[in-house]
Structure 1
C-alpha cells in the first residue's frame, strides 16, 4: 500500500511540474496543434496551442511507478514490464502521428493503415509475451487463454484466437481513448476516474488472491492474477499523472494531450483489463470510450447505408464523435466535458458495483 500512495504522490507532482515545463518548451519550438476544419468552430481558437502534452503523462507515470517500486524495496514485476510495453508502445505510435501533424501542420497525421500497423505490432508482441511466458511459482501467467468478466470462464481458447482478441482489445481501447480526446480536459478527467477504478480492482484482487496465506480468502471467490498489487501501483501512477495534467488541460487548455497521450492511455487500459482478467468488465468501467466509439461507427454505417439505398448519405449526429455533436447543438464545451465526466463516473461506479457483486455471489 505504501508503494501505491508514493506512486500516486510522485505521479501528480511530476505531471504538474512537468506539464508546466512542457508548455513553455513546446511553445518556443512551435509544436502547435492543427485543428480539424469540420470540427466545432469554437475550437478554431485552439490552433497553435502546444500539443503532445501526453508525453508528460507517459514520463511521469513510468518514473513514478519505478521510483515508488524501488524506494519501497521491490522490483518491477513481469506484469508491470508488459504493461509498460503497451503504454509506451502505443505512445510511440501516437507520437509519430502527432509529430507528422505538427511538422506538416495537417490534422491527418499518420495514415489509418500505418497507425493500425503500429498498434498491431505492439498488441501482438504484448500478447505473445503475456500468454506464453513469465509464469509465476503457481503457473499463473500475466494473461490467460480464457475470456474473462471478473474471472476466467468457458473453455481454454486456441492461442491464435487469444491473440486476435488481444489485438482487438488493444486497438479498440486505444482508438476509443483517442476518439474521446477532443474537448479540453475530457480524456484526462475521465481517464483519472477509470484508472482510479482499476487501482481499486487490483488492490481488491491482491487481497483475495488465490494461493494466498490470508485466512479470509475463499477459494471459490479468489482471483488468479499474476501481479495485482504491482498493477495497482502502476494504475495509481497513471491516475495521478492524468490528474496533474488536467490542471493545465482544463478549459482553456494551456496544452493539448495529443495522440501520444490518448493512444498510450488506451493501451494501458487494455493491458490492465487483460492482465486483471476483466476484459468484459472493462467495457462497462470505460463505458464512455465505448459510447464515443459507437457514435463514430453508427455515423459511418448510417451514412454509407443511406447513400447506397437512397443516393444521399444521412448522418445520425451532426458530427462524430458524439461529444462534438452536442457542441454543434450549442452546448458550451465546459458543459459537455462536465456532463461526460458524469457519464464516465456512472460507468465506473456501475463497473465497480458489478465487480463487487460478482465477488459476493
Structure 2
C-alpha cells in the first residue's frame, strides 16, 4: 500500500508542477491549440489555449514509476514494457500536436500516419510481452481461465493491437471538453489500482506475475491525471492534446492486457465506449439514411448544442464514468466471491 501511495503522490506532484511550467512556457512562445471548425461555436473562444499538456501526464508516470520502484528495489519486465508503451503512444500524440500548433491549423498527422505510429507501438508491446514475460494468451474477463479461450501467441498479438488502437481512439474522441478525460481517466486508473493490488494480495486466485507493479503503474497514472486536472478543469488553462489522450488510452489497454481483464475494460471505460458508439451510430445513420441521430457527434457536443452548460455535461459524464468504475469493481469482486466463497 505504501508503494501505491508514493506512486500516486509523486505522479500528482510532478504532473501538477510540470503542467504549470508548460502553461507558462507555451504561453510565452504563443503555442496554442487551433480549434476545429466542426465544433460548437462556444469552442472558438478556446483558440490559442496551450496544448500538449499530456507531456506532464507522461512525465508524472515516468517519475512516479521510477521513484517508487527505486524505493521498492524492483523493476519488472511487465511494468517497464507497459510504461515504455504508454510513453511511446504519447510521443505519437506529441508529433500530431506539434504539427497542429506549428502549422496553426487543426490538422496534424494524417489518419494513416497516426494509425501507423500506433500500430508500431502496439506491435512492439505485443512482441515484447510475448518474448520477455509470461503473459497469458487467453481471452479473459476478470482473470485468466474465465472463458477457456486461448488465442495463442499470434491471436493474442492481434487482439492486443486491436485493443490498443480501439482504446487510444476512444479516449481521443472523448477529449473534447475541459477536464472530461482527465477526470474520468483518474476514476478508471483508480479501478486498475484496486484490481492490481487485489490480485497481488490474492496470488492463488489471480495467477499472473507482477500484479503489484501494474498497480503502481495505475496509481502513477491516477496521480498524474489528477495533477493535470488541477489546471485542465473548466475553464481549462491547458489542453492535454493527443499527447495525453493517446498515452491514457494506451495505459488502459496495456493494463487490461497485463492483468487479464481485457473484456472488463469496456466496463471500466464505459464512458469512452458510449462516446465512440455515438460517433459510429451518427456516421452509420447518415450514410444509410441521410439523417443524423444527434445534433453533433461525439455525444457531448450534442448536449452542448441542446443548451447544456459545459460544466454540467462534464460532471454528469464523470458520474457516468464513476458508475462504470463501480460496476466493473463490483463485477471483479463478485467473480472473486464465486471462486473463494468469501462473503457468502
TM-score (norm 1): 0.91
**Residue number in structure 1 paired with 2:143:** 151
Is 2:9–2:223's contact at 8 Å kept on the other side of the alignment? yes
- Determine the structure 1 residue equivalent to 2:252: 269
Query: CA–CA distance in 2 between the matches of 1:190 and 1:290?
Result: 12
Deviation at 1:160, TM superposition (A): 2.2
Verify: 1:289 aligned to 2:302, yes or no. Answer: no
2:335 matched to which residue of 1?
A: 358
Residue aligning to 1:120:
119
Distance 1:128 1:18 in 2: 32
Identify the residue that residue 218 of structure 1 maps to in structure 2: none
**Cα distance, 1:328 vs. partner?**
1.0
Match of residue 342 from structure 2: none
How many Å separate the matches in 1 of 2:86 and 2:149? 29
Deviation larger for 156-165 or 331-340: 156-165
CA distance in 1, matches of 2:274, 2:315: 16
Q: Provide the C-alpha distance between the structure 2 equivalents of 1:247 and 1:9, rounded to a whole number of angstroms.
A: 14
| CA–CA distance in structure 2, aligned partners of residues 305 and 113 of structure 1 | 25
**Structure 2 regions of 5+ residues with no counterpart?**
339-344
Give the C-alpha shift of residue 128 in structure 1: 1.2
* 1:166 equivalent in structure 2: 160
Distance 1:250 1:326 in 2: 19
Over aligned residue pairs, what C-alpha RMSD do you find? 1.0
Q: List runs of 5+ in structure 1 lacking aligned partners.
A: 135-140, 211-221, 307-312
Which residues of 2 match residues 79-228 of structure 1 at below 5 A?
A: 79-134=78-133, 141=134, 143-152=135-144, 153-210=147-204, 222-228=205-211
Matched, 1:44 2:44: yes
Matches of 2:329 and 2:84, distance apart in 1: 26
Using the alignment, how far apart are the partners of 1:197 and 1:174 within structure 2? 18
CA distances 1:324-354 after superposition (whole Å, capped 9, x unpaired): 1101111000000000000000000000000
Deviation, 1:175, is 0.7
| Shift of residue 97, structure 1, vs aligned partner | 0.7
Distance 1:100 1:157 in 2: 38
Deviation at 1:209, TM superposition (A): 0.8
In structure 2, the residue matched to 1:35 is: 35
Task: Indicate conservation of the 8 Å contact 1:184/1:250, yes or no.
Answer: yes
Once residues 154 and 293 of structure 2 are traced to their aligned partners in structure 1, the CA distance between those partners, rounded to angstroms, is 36
Looking at structure 2, the residues matched to 158 and 16 of structure 1 have their Cα atoms a distance apart, in angstroms, of: 42
Distance 1:159 1:229 in 2: 24
2:316 maps to: 339
CA deviation after TM superposition for structure 1 residue 18, in Å: 1.3
What is the aligned partner in structure 1 of residue 284 from structure 2?
Answer: 301
Return the offset for 1:300.
Answer: 1.1
Q: Is the 8 A contact 2:77 2:132 kept in 1?
A: no
Structure 2 CA distance, aligned partners of 1:171 and 1:163? Answer: 12
| Structure 1 residue 299 displacement after superposition | 1.1
Q: Measure how far apart 1:260 and its partner are.
A: 0.3
SS at the partner of 1:118? helix
Stretches of 4+ aligned residues off by more than 4 angstroms: none
Q: Does 1:77 align with 2:53?
A: no
Say whether the 8 Å CA contact 1:226–1:275 is kept in structure 2: no
Partner SS, residue 32 of structure 1: coil
State how far apart, in whole Å, the 1-side matches of 2:152 and 2:326 are. Answer: 34
1:275-317 deviations in Å (ceiling 9; x for gaps): 00000011101101111111111111111112xxxxxx21111
Greater alpha carbon shift after TM alignment, 83-92 vs 277-286: 83-92
What are the within-5 Å matches in structure 2 for residues 320-331 of structure 1?
A: 320-331=297-308
Distance 1:14 1:157 in 2: 39
Q: Which structure shows the bigger proportion of residues in helix conformation? A: 2
Match of 1:215 in 2: none
Structure 1 position 85, deviation (Å): 2.4
Kept after mapping to 2: 8 A contact 1:11/1:241: yes
Count matched residues: 336
Q: Conserved in 1, the CA contact under 8 Å of 2:138 and 2:152?
A: no
How far apart, in 1, do the equivalents of 2:52 and 2:164 lie? 21
